[in-house]
Copies of this chain bind each other. A is one copy, B any other.
């Protein structure tokens, strides 16, 4: 999804929900879609403020769930005390995360079989799956061998 398409989708999502298209929300959108990697709420605030200085932390926190619900962002919770987000360029993709414990990098990996698993297990319990998470925490081989984690930016 190109940013222009995503922007149109965002505006459509807002109006469809009876929400307003404000400069702050647009700045937050732009800041989010300029990121190449996962980001936190605080990082998003910094970047959004670089675009529109008036953006406040509260508005970032209020906008993130709106964008997540509209499938513009994906929320990634890896069991730390803060959540990570990333632009959702393909909302149909089933993805898992591999987290490098040495450099803290999060890799998004295609995992198409995940939904099969969720359906199988849930149906046995009389449940209908809504979402799934598959995460692998791992150590860096290169770090162990050479003392440097090759993934570190």
Binding site for B on A (CB under 8 A): 77, 79, 96, 98, 100-101, 107, 109, 111, 117-118, 121-122, 125-142, 150-151
With both chains docked as a complex, state the minimum distance between the C-beta of A93 and any C-beta of chain B, in angstroms: 15
With both chains docked as a complex, state the minimum distance between the C-beta of A105 and any C-beta of chain B, in angstroms: 9
In the complex, A137 Cα to B121 Cα: how many Å? Answer: 11
**Which of B132, B137, B138, B142 is within 8 Å of A137, CB to CB?**
B132
In the complex, A77 Cα to B78 Cα: how many Å? Answer: 9
This chain's copy number in the assembly? 2
In the complex, A20 Cα to B128 Cα: how many Å? Answer: 47
With both chains docked as a complex, state the minimum distance between the C-beta of A62 and any C-beta of chain B, in angstroms: 18
In the complex, A98 Cα to B100 Cα: how many Å? Answer: 25
